[in-house]
Amino acid sequence: MMSNYSAIARGAKLDVDRIYIAIFAFWLFTLLCFVRKIQIFASTHLFADIMILLTIIVVVVFGSIYWKDNGTNTGVDPINKETYTSSIGFSVYAFEGIGLILPVQDITENPKTYYKIVIAVIVSVAGMFVSFGLFCSFAWGDK
């Protein structure tokens, strides 16, 4: 049984089957794969980075307010034994750009220091992911 996604559009209820959303996304991303000059997406990439930063700021602000009002929510297990395997996929997705390191290292000005920079970036990004996840777990707990 297919579920419908409902949205309010111009005051009228709009029901769309999940298959139509999937077909549209497949069509859109297939066409985007044919673009060879990705420089034309530079402005949209900057916009996406700004939106990600704003989202993180909003989540941290609302989490801080919730945490201040309600205190720390315990009840979150460090490892959820039922769904812990999904963390493997999230971890792979978080570092999906790692395959670009070697080609970029070959064209850098000083390839010997590149390794230290990559390690620093990976440690920083992993630290941010873990810190943000812990903050959200402490703020909202199992809610």
User: In this predicted structure, what is the pLDDT of residue 58?
Assistant: 94
Q: Is the pLDDT of residue 50 over 80?
A: yes
Measured distance CA(75)–CA(137) in Å, rounded: 9
Tell how strand 4-9 and strand 12-17 pair up: antiparallel
User: pTM for the complete prediction?
Assistant: 0.55
C-alpha–C-alpha distance, residues 73 and 142, integer Å: 8
Q: Which residue has the higher pLDDT, 37 or 79?
A: 37
Enter the DSSP assignment of 71: -
Q: Residue 114: how many CB atoms within 10 A of its CB?
A: 17
Contact 43, 108 (CB under 8 A): no
**CA-to-CA distance for 125 and 132, rounded, in angstroms?**
11
- Measure the N-to-C terminal CA separation of the chain; round to a whole number of Å: 28
pLDDT digits (tens, 9 = 90+) for 35-48: 878 777 778 888 98
Regarding predicted confidence, which is higher, 96 or 118?
A: 118
pLDDT in the model for residue 102: 67
